[in-house]
Amino acid sequence: MNVGVLALQGDVREHIEMLRQIGVRPVEVRLPRHLDVVDRLIIPGGESTVIGRLLTIYNFVAPLRARAGRDLAIWGTCAGAILLARTLMGTKQGGQPSLEMMDITVRRNAYGSQLDSFELPLDMPVLGETPLPGVFIRAPQIESVGPTVQVLARLPDGAVVAAQQGRMLATTFHPELTGDDRVHRYFLEL
Amino acid sequence: MEKSTWTTKVGLAQMLKGGVIMDVVTVEQARIAEEAGAVAVMALERVPADIRAQGGVARMSDPELISAIKAAVTIPVMAKARIGHFVEAQVIEALGIDYIDESEVLTPADEEHHINKHKFTIPFVCGCRNLGEALRRLAEGAAMLRTKGEAGTGNVVEAVRHFRAVQGDIRRLQSMDADELFTAAKNLQAPYELVKQVAAAGRLPVVNFAAGGIATPADAALMMQLGVDGVFVGSGIFKSGNPMQRARAIVAATTHYRDPAIIAEVSKGLGEAMVGINIDQIPTEQLMAKRGW
């Protein structure tokens, strides 16, 4: 198993450190050729407008669409979840480039500005009964999911914050900023 | 639900890593910056180069301008408050902006005390020239740091000096015996607990960006190779000949900072860079990095 972390922008190091603690030696993916040795990829938190633009300029879109969910398991956290979504709401003026791979609709900045960023323990049944620390930073929200998408976690008001479609995983929060490695371990089994 | 926790304050800065934060003075510039791949924008009335040229007292920008820029883009927006001017900070917080830069680029409002940043729900970034200054700002509640550099000069030399000073101080701490950290804290004029934490971790507990004098893609990559987490570009973009192209090039060089072939490619034909100023030609009383303590 070779795990890559997309290293165009964002909290790359936090994912890498968590994977190392689990005993995995991840690869930083900065150019499409770095994908050749990778069979799992994490798209970190960051700014979706920036990462999306760099994904397009450096020709990541076609190789990722060809492999994601098949021989490449993929997980997007926050900005990463935005980039996986087939449909986006709240994009920048004129729209923004995205991978459009997972059958979910995601709204950017769903809770407001940084002052509305929050922490809340989450129930995520696939990880067991212990609540998962949820860190939401200028977070997006999954507004709707397609028929083959499984909802993994919701906020108390019902809003979807984690979803899975086969070997594609999206979380609108940041497990990599917590000491809890269960989502990382879950992804490594995907 | 707990809002604006320390984790979310520091966390937003972590999300900005590997990115470029650009100074903008109009809505139009903010859109250009977002389009070019800025990870955030700093909303200002005047860029540092103009503040330097025009002189006078530099204050927080007009809230109307800050709000207009906030409404125009989807990326985080930062705004500057004067050192020690906690009411300017309260105003920026009330506007619902994402981050405050307590900045030496503006004229200080208090020559003894910085803002007590723990009292705010909005996170702060502060400048530093060395580890002691960095840790004093953290003690006051800063959730992100940057080098001071010398803003508005287009001269990267001070940013290099300040970042190397911080890293050198950290390496010295790491080589010390636990018994020596008490005196190290005294000498750094920084809280012992933070000194101990940095000595153990070998790095700052928050993100540290480069700022002050970055004007070219190579400048940005230089700072990244030295080990900063990301880059602020102030006057360097919109004081240059072709802002969109230069902004894109600096973004690319910040991502691919270890790839000289890419830096070379994006540096081609960028047109005129901003006119630079040599630091030793600036009268001492006009040096911005000396503001704050």
* Chain B CB contacts of A93 below 8 Å: 31, 34, 72-73
Q: Inter-chain contact A118–B123, Cβ cutoff 8 Å?
A: no
* Chain B CB contacts of A14 below 8 Å: 14
Closest by CA to B42, choosing from B255, B230, B288, B228, is B230
pLDDT at A146: 98
Q: How far apart, in whole angstroms, are the C-alpha atoms of residue A62 and residue B176?
A: 51
> What are residue B153's phi and psi, to 5 degrees?
-105, -20
Delineate the domains of chain A, giving CATH numbers in brackets. Answer: 3-188 (3.40.50.880)
Q: For residue B144, is pLDDT > 90?
A: yes
Residues of B tagged active-site: 80
Q: How far apart, in whole angstroms, are the C-alpha atoms of residue B287 and residue A68?
A: 52
Residue among B4, B5, B14, B28 with most chain A CBs within 10 A, to mutate: B14
Q: Inter-chain contact B18–A46, Cβ cutoff 8 Å?
A: yes
Q: Which residues pair with A170 in a beta bridge?
A: A76, A163
Question: Looking at chain B from residue 87 to 106, which residues have their Cβ under 8 Å from any Cβ of chain A?
Answer: 93, 96-99
Residue A116 DSSP SS3 = helix
Which pLDDT tens digit goes with each residue over B11-21? 999 999 999 99
Side-by-side strand order, sheet with B124-128: B207-209, B144-147, B124-128, B99-103, B77-82, B40-43, B20-24, B231-233
Q: For residue A157, is pLDDT > 90?
A: yes
Q: How far apart, in whole angstroms, are the C-alpha atoms of residue B228 and residue B221?
A: 10
* Chain A CB contacts of B34 below 8 Å: 49, 92-93
Closest by CA to A118, choosing from B76, B1, B118, is B1
Question: Looking at chain A from residue 49 to 78, which residues have their Cβ under 8 Å from any Cβ of chain B?
Answer: 49-50, 53-54, 57, 78
Residue A179, number of CB atoms within 10 A of its CB: 8
Closest by CA to A73, choosing from A170, A190, A160, is A190
pLDDT at B285: 86
Among candidates A13, A92, A117 on the partner chain, residue whose Cβ is nearest the Cβ of B3? A117
Among candidates B1, B15, B31 on the partner chain, residue whose Cβ is nearest the Cβ of A137? B15
Which pLDDT tens digit goes with each residue over A57-75? 999 999 999 999 999 999 9
Q: What angle do CA B221, B225, B229 make, to 5 degrees?
A: 85
Looking at every residue in chain A, the average pLDDT score rounds to 97
Q: Inter-chain contact A46–B74, Cβ cutoff 8 Å?
A: no
The catalytic residue among A28, A174, A184, A189 is A174
pLDDT at B5: 97
Q: For residue B7, is pLDDT > 90?
A: yes
Distance from CA of B129 to the nearest CA of A (A): 25
Average pLDDT over residues B149-174: 97
Residue B222, number of CB atoms within 10 A of its CB: 21
Q: For chain A, first and last CA: distance in Å?
A: 11
Which is higher by pLDDT, B279 or B139? Answer: B139
Q: Is B8 on the interface with A (CB under 8 A)?
A: yes
Closest by CA to B207, choosing from B238, B179, B235, B229, is B229
Residue of B nearest to A57 (CA): B252
Among candidates B14, B15, B74 on the partner chain, residue whose Cβ is nearest the Cβ of A90? B74
Which is higher by pLDDT, B272 or B170? Answer: B170
Average pLDDT over residues B121-127: 98
Which is higher by pLDDT, B99 or B56? Answer: B99
Q: Which residues pair with B77 in a beta bridge?
A: B41
Among candidates A9, A79, A114 on the partner chain, residue whose Cβ is nearest the Cβ of B123? A114
Q: Is A34 a catalytic residue?
A: no
Which pLDDT tens digit goes with each residue over A27-44? 999 999 999 999 999 999
- Residue written as token pair 């999954």: A142
DSSP string, chain B: -EES-HHHHHHHHHHTTT-EEEEESSHHHHHHHHHHT-SEEEE-SS-HHHHHHH-S---PPPHHHHHHHHHH-SS-EEEEEETT-HHHHHHHHHTT-SEEEEETTSPPS-SS----GGG-SS-EEEEESSHHHHHHHHHTT-SEEEE---TTS--THHHHHHHHHHHHHHHHHHTS-GGGHHHHHHHHTS-HHHHHHHHHHSS-SSEEEB-SS--SHHHHHHHHHHT-S-EEESHHHHTSS-HHHHHHHHHHHHHTTT-HHHHHHHHTT--PPPPP--GGGS-GGG-STTS--
Which is higher by pLDDT, B201 or B273? Answer: B201
Average pLDDT over residues B238-264: 96
* Chain B CB contacts of A120 below 8 Å: 1-2
Q: Is B73 on the interface with A (CB under 8 A)?
A: yes
Phi-psi region of B263 (alpha: psi -120 to 50; beta: other; left: phi over 0): alpha
Q: Is A174 a catalytic residue?
A: yes
Is the CB of residue B122 less than 8 Å from the CB of residue B144? no
Q: For residue A121, is pLDDT > 90?
A: yes
Angle between helices B192-201 and B131-139 (to 10 degrees): 120
Q: For residue B199, is pLDDT > 90?
A: yes
Average pLDDT over residues B166-184: 98
> What are residue A188's phi and psi, to 5 degrees?
-70, -15
Average pLDDT over residues B16-38: 97
Q: Is A181 on the interface with B (CB under 8 A)?
A: no
Residue of B nearest to A118 (CA): B3
Q: For residue A1, is pLDDT > 90?
A: no
* CB proximity list for A98: less than 8 A, separation 6 or greater: A48, A52, A82, A83, A85, A88
